């Protein structure tokens, strides 16, 4: 069986580094971030967003949407993971931030 079979749940990580020194760059950053939120991505940490997809085909569709909304400057990386790989993520943190609540039984991160 193909490792990325069409029925396997996937997670997309979008990692970006965009310039924000000029007003036009900040506007471009905000526009890209708003697109990610509108497309169902959730912030994992600053400049790192993730989205669950029902299968590989759905993940590819959302990758295409991110590519279509790419900012003019800076860089964007997308990592496609299986749900199982994503759930094995190791989180190393200092003292708990008031901004982040972690509900471990569900593996849900609410920001």
- CA–CA gap between residue 84 and residue 102 (Å, rounded): 18
Strands (E) in the chain, as ranges, are 10-17, 42-45, 48-53, 75-82, 101-103, 108-110
pLDDT tens per residue across span 40-80: 999 999 999 999 999 999 999 999 999 999 999 999 999 99
Cα–Cα distance for residue pair 21/16, rounded to 1 Å: 15
Question: What domains can you pick out in the chain, each with its CATH number?
Answer: 10-89+97-110 (3.30.70.240)
Give 106's contacts (C-beta < 8 A, 6+ positions apart).
none
Give which of 21, 20, 16, 22 is closest to 69, Cα–Cα: 16
pTM above 0.85, yes or no: no
- Model confidence pLDDT, tens digit, residues 3-33: 545 458 999 999 999 999 999 999 999 999 9
Which of 96 and 37 is assigned the larger pLDDT? 37
């Amino acid at each position: 069986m193909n490792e990325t079979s069409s029925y396997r749940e996937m997670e997309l990580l979008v990692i970006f580094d965009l310039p924000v020194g000029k007003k036009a760059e900040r506007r471009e950053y905000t526009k890209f971030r708003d697109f990610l939120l509108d497309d169902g991505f959730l912030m994992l940490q600053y400049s790192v967003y993730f989205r669950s997809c029902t299968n590989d085909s759905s993940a590819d569709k959302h990758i295409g949407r991110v590519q279509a909304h790419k900012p003019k400057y800076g860089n964007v990386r997308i990592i496609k993971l299986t749900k199982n790989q994503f759930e094995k993520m190791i989180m190393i943190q200092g003292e708990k931030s008031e901004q982040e609540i972690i509900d471990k039984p569900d593996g849900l991160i609410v920001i």
